[in-house]
A and B are shown apart, each in its own frame.
Chain A
Amino acid sequence: MTVFLASLGFGLVTAAVLAIAAVGFTLQFAVTDVLNLAYGAIMIAGAFIAYVVNQAGVSVWIGLAAAVAACSLGSVLVNSGVYTPFQRRGTSSITMVIVSLGMTLIIEFGVAAVAGGTSVSYTMGQGATLRAAGLILTTVQLVIIAVSLVVMAGVHTLLRYTKLGKAMRATAANKTLARNCGIRTSRVITITWALTGGLCGLAGVVFAMDSGSFSATSTDIFLVLILAAVFLGGPGQAYGAMLGAAVIGIATEVSAAFIPADYKYVVAFVVLLLMLGLRPAGLLGARA
């Protein structure tokens, strides 16, 4: 039982990190119709930016702010500079996958070139270990969960209660009609990428915090978890991504209590393939 509860604790943290990442990814898909496979690479770039700041003697939380800003800007550049021009040309969606893989190589191995291949860690205290209801979590892990909850609440507020959020949903639902309403959709899309790019950077840093040590290729597997969460909830559905993250995050970690830990990601893999084969629109998406 304690093993189960311990892994549930890990699951909650993983779900928290995954939720931040998956929501960003799915919103990018919603407004642009592109699966940004470079998302994992941008995450780890954010993690390293925070690392650099951290190594300069500053708290890693300041580094986090730097990462969010940098990834926000970087994501906007990737979309406006690469994805949008290709799409405007009528590039097929499969070729867009190849384009995003090319971006992944550039970013991920650009980071590797600068940072080297060895794993690094943040200089930070993990804080006290807290126990409640059988769960064992460090302060940092609790902070991560709290941050994730705040982000989810923020995304919810943005989408449901602000003009910008509604304009984002309108653009995702029917871009031409949105323009007919006077919405400057290209601006809305840029802002969406700026916000989700920030989420990407945030996700990268908390991922690195949770992993302990990380290297340039650490997010390769994590991207699979993101995809599983996104497709479980439905590509383009923000609430679906939150739901998917909770399920995948917890299920993955809890499964480690029953099967060898090295294979825990198999759960995510199976979920993803099942969703693609049976219901690509996801649990919350419209039936095809």
Chain B
Amino acid sequence: MNRHTRLALLIALVVAAFALSLAAGKQWLPWAAWIGDDSRWAIVVELRVPRAILGAMLGAALGLSGAVLQGYLRNPLADPTVIGVSSCAALGAVASIVFGLGGMAGGLGQFGWAMAGAGGAMALLGLLTARAESPVIFVLAGTVLASLAGALTAFLISIAPNPYAVAEAIDWLMGALTDRGTNDVMLAAPFMVGGSLVLMTTGRALDALALGEDAARSLGANLARLRWTVVLGTGLAVGAGVAVTGVVGFVGLVVPHLLRPVFGARPSALLLPSALGGAALTLAADSLCRLAPGAGEVRLGVVMALIGAPFFLALLFREGGRQWR
């Protein structure tokens, strides 16, 4: 089975997960309800289509940035959460919730604040690592940024003026696609698509980096430009994702690992598959969220970890680290 066939299968999986995401919920919607005069059609168009589009984009952005970061840092543990983008975007959003700034600029407030958080994190990360092109510095700087943003977020929640703001902030932090609508899609899509396109350009340089920094330079890779490309692409794609859905972990870490046995360990060969795989995984997990018993929904971040972790552990057990060294 060649790469094209595998990609085609992966695309089929995304389409199937998208369809499942339209059908699944407290109210199961059969095919018949998707077209024609069925009154349930509104549920599909108004609620589930935007939610599914957002889920697909979020998953693609997370999966892709995970693959790029693992390749860039040459570290199988890397994902968007370890470099601080998600935490800083979350800090921005929580600040807007706690201080009641969400309504600024016609409801753009929370999104804008989260994007500002992501942008600030990326600028700081880029500057901190500008003098030392070492992946260790990058990870250390990112980890410190993430811890700092986490502490500031906790601080903001603890000084929140009222319990409703606290509840809203904590609820938002857990990450979900619940009740996200067309507006959210329109807000986030340009950034997520733009960021993802930027990240897709990194393949050749990431491949060269597999041989180490000096060898990569000797093969003509421009490592300074690569660093800014990675920072910009991750900031836009993941920042916008976090800005509308909250923090959803695990996708970026786990998807490249799931796909390495299928598409090979070469970093560039993993970029497109990781975007597709991230979309499929997120859509499937979001469908499961809605199927949980009880009146409410389980949080996407929770479901992701619950289904992802055992699967990932099984993979580790079976592969025994064959894909990385």
Determine if chain A interacts with chain B.
no
B residues contacting A by CB (< 8 A) are none
A residues contacting B by CB (< 8 A) are none
